Amino acid sequence: MPASTQLHAPLKAVLVPLDQVPDPVFAQQTMGPGIALEPLESQLFSPCDGEIVHLARTRHALTLKTDQGCDLLIHLGLDTVDLEGEGITVHVAPGDRVRRGDLLWDFDADLLACRALSLITPLVVTSSDQWRCELMDVPVGRVIERGAALMTLVATSQASPTGKGDGSNNEYREQVTLALAAGLHARPAARLRAIAREHGCTLVLERGEHQADAASLTALMGLSLRHGDTLAVIARGADAAAALGEAAALLTTPEAAEDDPGHGEPADPTPAVVPTKNDTTCYGLTASPGLAVGPLVRPGHSRIEVNADREESAETAERALVQAISTLNDTLVADIDQARRQGRREEADILEAHQAWLDDPALREESLAHIRAGRSAAFAWREVLEGRIIALRQSESRLLAARADDLRDLQERLVALLVPDAAAVGHIEIAPGAIVMFEEITPSQLLALDRVSPAGLCLAGGGTTSHVALLARARGLPCLAAMGAGLIEVMGRHQGGDVILDADNGALIFSPAADQLSEARERIERNRTRAVAEQQMAHEPARTRDDALIEVCANVAGPEEARTAFDAGADGIGLMRSEFLFMAHAQAPDQEMQRESYQQALDSMGTRQVIIRTLDIGADKQLDYLSLPSVPNPALGTRGVRLMARHQALLDVQLRALLSVRPLDRLRIMVPMVCDAAELVAVRERIEVLAREMNLEGRPELGAMIEVPAAAVCADQIARVADFLSIGTNDLTQYTLAMDREDPDLAGRADVLHPAVLRLIDLTVKGASTHRCPVGVCGAAAGDPQAWAALVALGVDELSVEPARVAAVKAGIRRLDRAVLSRALREWLNEPIDSVTLRQRLEQWLSDAPDANTNDRGVSDDAI
């Protein structure tokens, strides 16, 4: 007979069906089946006999394992995690045995009701693959007394998870196919480790005969897992099922290349000349574009010398190693925090990967073993990491090979802490404005180098996918990589002499002639002068030479970037991506959290308009707490406005938050992935219902994104019911050309200047004009060096770009004669023309355009 256990009401409450809980994670039974209770008293007792196997750090949730082995999650209220335990007193701890009726929590019901989304408390069977719920005959919506029979849990199979009694040995396994385009590299490996820790579980990846524990980054990356590989994910522990779900989702969800260019592993671009040298020039790969002139310097950095054998006792050396690891970890934590606060996300991500390496137990244990065998702490650490560095460099994956520099960085930073006076040996000193040459450089060395303001960087090794390249690009530091032994050979003859680093064209020019130096310096100075002049005019309107006013707005991810956009001169926010707020939290942000973020964005922009896009999740952007159907092509699945129909409660919370900002007349709400007018009408009707419930008099403007060909073709119909349209050129291009923008083999051909895409944009503008509906562009094309001009020529009213591009795009608009270019563009589009030819013609047209030498304020407006 199958095992069973009866649950009793843990407090007096109103019975609520799980599918009516205003949180999609519970309502869609993502975590499992069960029931929910709306408390009518402020103490919660155990519903059965069992053992507490997990308690949330914030005291708002616990997992109770019944004596029959069923895992039951009790979640006190909704969004109570954000209270950080305030108003909640817990009377049990993990490992405690409890009997039915034992007190689990006291809670301040008034505080939770005011500060959390809801007091509704779900009871969820998380081991639902082996247990089913049989609810007692109690009508939902009725009051149930504490201790009354609530439901029976019945085992669906005699089989039980591996392990006995306490659940610590529960084992779950799932076969997955790795969807990470770059394979399993440092950052997702670090996330696996975090998942295991958060759930108090062991996570193991298995490929063939090889296994790797997630606690060891070196072991994980030693599997050399690549995109498309099949592997098993094994989770062991009390909360293993939840950990397995998160780990599988991480490994099977493609990364968004636009969010982190360091993740992908594209083919290295072919330089104009293969990496080699001649008497005057050495070539390499463009790791970070730009132009620089300065003396060529090779810093006198030498590797720290260490004694192989220890002179002190093993215990002393072991303590020194552990202390050095702790000290370096504290430094990394502080550096990560500073990078996050200053908005340097790429730097923070890289440092977090370093922190995960440092915490690798395998590295620590092997080093301690070397110490016990008679080696010094510094030698032991260096020796253990050297083996990993060699293995990474030999990897077939270019991205994994590039991670060897990160491990070298960690190796030498810890050695510097273990060797007295080593810091002075490893210090890099150069004069500001130098072109600095290294055989290789670590990320931390680059960060230190950045403080003395070098003009450029040349690397004999490295590549375009390294973290050094990523940091150089983030800082606008011209950098060439993979320059080879030729660079080292000529270094002695040219050290200290002026060179030209033309990273745009992959060239380092030695002993340049006086006229070459003069021309390069003039180009650099023109660029600087132009940037200053553009910024001086950034807060002025942008009018074409034939007096067409074009608004130049900014694309932002949140209120912090909105402040940057205002300072940069943006005429408004053309796109605020609300999904980043959702992606930053483990649960959906509540109404007040959203309202505060949206209000801050409006406040940052003064009197200027702010367009906020409703949640756009799906395809390359996923939420751990939002269950989306698994489909072969998620880019064509449930996303954008389609998501709203499926998750109405989630949309309602967002719409209420948007309707709560003031003043409403400066807010514009934009709906993504609209295909026809009916979809936008449905959203407007919902806004009307919510606005009446909130007793609002005003209404914000409502617009649609045009990012699928169907919407472009139906633009005249959509414009009839919209206040504005905004073209998302990224998706419109990939859907029109059937080319995935994340596919490295196709990304170069997925060009917005393809005639088919431009014709759809033209159709959109013409359709909208029949209803006097303004049209903007918020995709990457708005800031493209040539495409922005084509968009203006086709008649768009607004361009929304990254904040750093606002001043340059405005300056370019002021040089443009819209009518003249419009006539030329339409003639070109009538020819059998491709995007490459069209881009060349636009580039030539812009370079030949008459220079508006001075404007009304006497400031030069050069072309962008």
Mean pLDDT computed over 407-413: 81
Number of H helices, E strands in the chain: 30, 35
Q: Is the pLDDT of residue 212 over 50?
A: yes
517 in a structural domain: no
> Which CATH number belongs to the domain containing residue 38 in this structure?
2.70.70.10
- DSSP one-letter code for 94: T
Q: What is the predicted pLDDT for the residue at 268?
A: 37
Mean pLDDT computed over 762-772: 96
Last residue of a domain, one of 491, 512, 533: 512
> Which CATH number belongs to the domain containing residue 229 in this structure?
3.30.1340.10
**585 catalytic, yes or no?**
no
Q: Is the pLDDT of residue 247 over 50?
A: yes
Residue 278's nearest CA partner among 457, 495, 502, 484 is 484
Q: Is the pLDDT of residue 159 over 50?
A: no
Q: Is the pLDDT of residue 399 over 70?
A: no
- Catalytically annotated residue among 8, 60, 467, 647: 467
Q: In this structure, are 145 and 38 located in the same domain?
A: yes
Q: In this structure, are 550 and 622 located in the same domain?
A: yes
Q: What is the predicted pLDDT for the residue at 172?
A: 87
Q: In this structure, are 683 and 635 located in the same domain?
A: yes
| Contact residues for 511 (Cβ-Cβ < 8 A; gap 6+) | 280, 494, 497, 499
> Is-contact 182 326, C-beta < 8 A?
no
405 in a structural domain: yes
26 in a structural domain: yes
Q: What is the predicted pLDDT for the residue at 277?
A: 43
| pLDDT band, very low/low/confident/very high, at 466 (cuts 50, 70, 90) | low
Last residue of a domain, one of 130, 155, 180: 155
Q: In this structure, are 632 and 723 located in the same domain?
A: yes
Q: In this structure, are 694 and 839 located in the same domain?
A: yes
Mean pLDDT computed over 417-428: 61
> Which CATH number belongs to the domain containing residue 758 in this structure?
3.20.20.60
199 in a structural domain: yes
> Is-contact 408 440, C-beta < 8 A?
yes
CA atoms lying within 13 Å on the CB side of residue 238:
22
Q: In this structure, are 462 and 409 located in the same domain?
A: no
Mean pLDDT computed over 583-606: 89
| pLDDT band, very low/low/confident/very high, at 279 (cuts 50, 70, 90) | low
Give the Cα separation of 64 and 139 in Å (integer).
Answer: 26
Q: Is the pLDDT of residue 563 over 80?
A: yes
15 in a structural domain: yes
Give the Cα separation of 55 and 67 in Å (integer).
Answer: 18
Give the Cα separation of 573 and 553 in Å (integer).
Answer: 5
Q: What is the predicted pLDDT for the residue at 359?
A: 82
Q: What is the predicted pLDDT for the residue at 863?
A: 29
Q: In this structure, are 663 and 643 located in the same domain?
A: yes
Mean pLDDT computed over 388-392: 76
Q: Residues of the chain with pLDDT > 90: what percent?
A: 37
Last residue of a domain, one of 426, 453, 476: 426
Q: Which tokens is 425 given?
A: 């040996």
Q: Pick the residue with more confidence: 115 or 172?
A: 172
> Cα(first)–Cα(last) distance of the chain, in Å?
78
> Which CATH number belongs to the domain containing residue 473 in this structure?
3.50.30.10
Q: Is the pLDDT of residue 508 over 90?
A: yes
Q: Pick the residue with more confidence: 527 or 233?
A: 233
Report how many domains make up the chain: 5
Q: Pick the residue with more confidence: 716 or 84?
A: 716
685 in a structural domain: yes
Which of 255-259, 520-524, 645-649, 841-845 is least confident? 255-259
Q: What is the predicted pLDDT for the residue at 448?
A: 73
**What single-letter amino acid sits at 694?**
M
Q: What is the predicted pLDDT for the residue at 275?
A: 35
Q: Which tokens is 484 given?
A: 């080879």
Q: What is the predicted pLDDT for the residue at 428?
A: 58
Mean pLDDT computed over 191-205: 86
Mean pLDDT computed over 783-798: 92
Residue 198's nearest CA partner among 164, 151, 245 is 245
Give the Cα separation of 712 and 733 in Å (integer).
Answer: 12
265 in a structural domain: no
Q: Pick the residue with more confidence: 96 or 632?
A: 96
> Which CATH number belongs to the domain containing residue 366 in this structure?
1.10.274.10
Q: In this structure, are 632 and 771 located in the same domain?
A: yes
Pairing of strands 498-502, 291-297: antiparallel
Residue 176 lies in domain: 171-252
Per the prediction, the chain carries an average pLDDT of: 81
Residue 671: Cβ within 10 Å count? 23
Q: In this structure, are 507 and 573 located in the same domain?
A: no
Give the Cα separation of 418 and 317 in Å (integer).
Answer: 9
Q: Pick the residue with more confidence: 751 or 822?
A: 822
161 in a structural domain: no
Q: Which tokens is 522 given?
A: 């003039």
Mean pLDDT computed over 653-678: 96
Q: What is the predicted pLDDT for the residue at 182?
A: 67
pLDDT in tens, 257-275: 333 333 333 333 333 333 3
pLDDT in tens, 323-381: 999 999 888 888 777 766 665 665 666 777 778 788 888 888 889 989 998 999 999 99
| pLDDT band, very low/low/confident/very high, at 140 (cuts 50, 70, 90) | low
Q: At what angle do helices 467-475 and 443-450 cross, to 10 degrees?
A: 20
Q: In this structure, are 696 and 771 located in the same domain?
A: yes
| pLDDT band, very low/low/confident/very high, at 588 (cuts 50, 70, 90) | confident
Mean pLDDT computed over 579-603: 87
Mean pLDDT computed over 824-831: 94
Q: What is the predicted pLDDT for the residue at 107?
A: 92
Q: In this structure, are 84 and 216 located in the same domain?
A: no
Q: What is the predicted pLDDT for the residue at 630?
A: 54
**778 catalytic, yes or no?**
yes
Q: In this structure, are 420 and 448 located in the same domain?
A: no
515 φ/ψ angles, rounded to the nearest 5 degrees: -70, -30
- Catalytically annotated residue among 70, 479, 773, 778: 778
Q: Which tokens is 714 given?
A: 């139906």
Q: Pick the residue with more confidence: 712 or 478?
A: 712
Residue 239's nearest CA partner among 163, 177, 157, 187 is 163
The residue written with tokens 């939420």 in the block is: 623
| pLDDT band, very low/low/confident/very high, at 714 (cuts 50, 70, 90) | very high
Q: Is the pLDDT of residue 165 over 60?
A: no
Q: Pick the residue with more confidence: 275 or 485?
A: 485
Q: Pick the residue with more confidence: 164 or 835?
A: 835
> Is-contact 432 452, C-beta < 8 A?
yes
Q: What b-and-e string marks burial along 562-584, b requiring 16 or more CB atoms within 10 Å of the CB?
A: bbbbbebbbbbbbbbbbbebbbe
Mean pLDDT computed over 521-546: 91
Q: What is the predicted pLDDT for the residue at 276?
A: 41
